[in-house]
Amino acid sequence: MNQKFYDELRKILPEESIKLNEPMEAHTTFRVGGPADFFVTPGTKDELAGIIARCRAVQMPYYIIGNGSNLLVSDDGYKGVVIQVYKSMNQIRVTGNRIEAQAGALLSGIAARALENGLAGFEFAAGIPGTLGGACVMNAGAYGGEMKNVLKQVTVLSQEGRIFTIPVQKLELGYRTSIIAKNGYIVLEAVIELRNGDAQEIKTLMDELKEKRVSKQPLEFPSAGSTFKRPEGYFAGKLIQDAGLKGFRVGGAQVSEKHCGFVINRDHATAADISELMRQVSEKVYADSKVILEPEVKRLGEF
């Protein structure tokens, strides 16, 4: 253990916000991943800025996570600091048709507040199991909706410790990309702008979309949602199915039999199983259809 660095972190964070050798399988929806040397949960932007400044000063690698729902962490874990922006930074405030929320707020929580306040336009996000921060970075989307359509602005912390607000037009939100990731910004909070709607209609739509997820997606197994990005003009799941890979397994990892776009942790998979399965799926799909599948899932650590 790097005692000196731990002591530095203790000047910024209370003891309960710092964990050592924390298994990342407990913080990712794939339920795999070895230990992070340091795992910290800042409760304020000052704490977060302090951690980043400390890491940069001593060249300690760091990585931000939300709910880990789009993340594959190596079985060897992460030699550095995993900074989880989640439950300790998850305030949500509704004013008129605007929702201001901290990066750690879950999309489901924001959707519930939208419904409570009769605000329409966020129904698509209710079933995405990520935080607002992760959703801004990924420009998360589903069923024809995407964050780009509802975000007004995002407040970020830069690597140099500057805090500033970026209007949505300048976020370069594309298919699962944004300027946030490219520039290494950390999302602190965001403003979502919705339209006034009818609470019953909002609820009906949320229920319908939930039903679609439950019936089409393998929610009974750990996963990170769609494993690959949708190649232009195709659907990843269909390409994988057409390549004969439905149910294909490597170790405990499997291409879902219910939805081929999902790689699932079927039975005590390791990150290496999942990674190797993804590699083989891409290779076989390319051989079958000459389409390149790119992972949507982010990787952390050595593979």
Ligand X SMILES: Cc1cc2nc3c(=O)[nH]c(=O)nc-3n(C[C@H](O)[C@H](O)[C@H](O)COP(=O)(O)OP(=O)(O)OC[C@H]3O[C@@H](n4cnc5c(N)ncnc54)[C@H](O)[C@@H]3O)c2cc1C
Give catalytic residue positions: 176, 226, 296
Decide: is 67 part of the binding site for ligand X (CB under 6 A): yes
- 295 belongs to the binding site for ligand X (CB under 6 A): no
Q: Is residue 42 at the binding interface for ligand X, with CB under 6 A as the rule?
A: no
Q: Is residue 131 a contact residue for ligand X (CB under 6 A)?
A: yes
Cβ-based nearer residue to ligand X, 177 or 289: 177
Q: Rounded distance, CA 157 to CA 214, Å?
A: 36
Write the CB contacts of 83 (distance below 8 Å, at least 6 apart in sequence).
40, 41, 42, 48, 51, 52, 62, 63, 64, 65
> What count of Cα atoms within 13 Å lies in the side-chain half-sphere of residue 91?
7
Residue 24 engages ligand X in binding (rule: CB under 6 A) = no
Kindly state the smallest distance separating residue 87's Cβ from ligand X, in Å. 11
Structure tokens at 82: 């995993």
Contact call for residues 33 and 77 (beta carbons, < 8 A): yes
Give whole-number Cα distances, 240 to 30, 51, 296, in Å. Answer: 20, 42, 15
Binding mask 140-159 for ligand X (x = CB under 6 A): xxx-----------------
Smallest distance from ligand X to CB 115, Å = 18
Query: Taking CB under 6 A as the rule, does residue 36 contact ligand X?
Result: no
What tokens appear for 65 in the block? Answer: 């996570």
Q: Give dist(CA 52, CA 57) in Å, integer.
A: 8
DSSP 190-225: EEEE-EE--HHHHHHHHHHHHHHHHHHS-TTS-EEE
Contact call for residue 85 and ligand X (CB under 6 A): yes
Q: At 222, list the tokens.
A: 């750990």
Among 111, 187, 191, 274, contact with ligand X (rule: CB under 6 A): 187
* Binding of ligand X by 135 (CB under 6 A): yes
- Residue in 80, 23, 52 with CA at minimum distance from that of residue 186: 52
Tell me which amino acid residue 158 is. S
To the nearest whole angstrom, how small is the minimum distance from the Cβ of residue 62 to ligand X? 10
Answer for which of 18, 49, 137, 269 binds ligand X (CB under 6 A) is: 137
**Closest CB 229 distance from ligand X, rounded Å:** 10
Q: Which is nearer to ligand X, 15 or 293 (CB)?
A: 293
Which string of x and - marks every residue 211-250 that binds ligand X (by CB under 6 A)?
------x-x---xxx-------------------------
Residues in the site for ligand X, rule: CB under 6 A?
29, 63-71, 85, 103, 128-131, 133-135, 137-138, 140-142, 180, 186-187, 217, 219, 223-225, 298
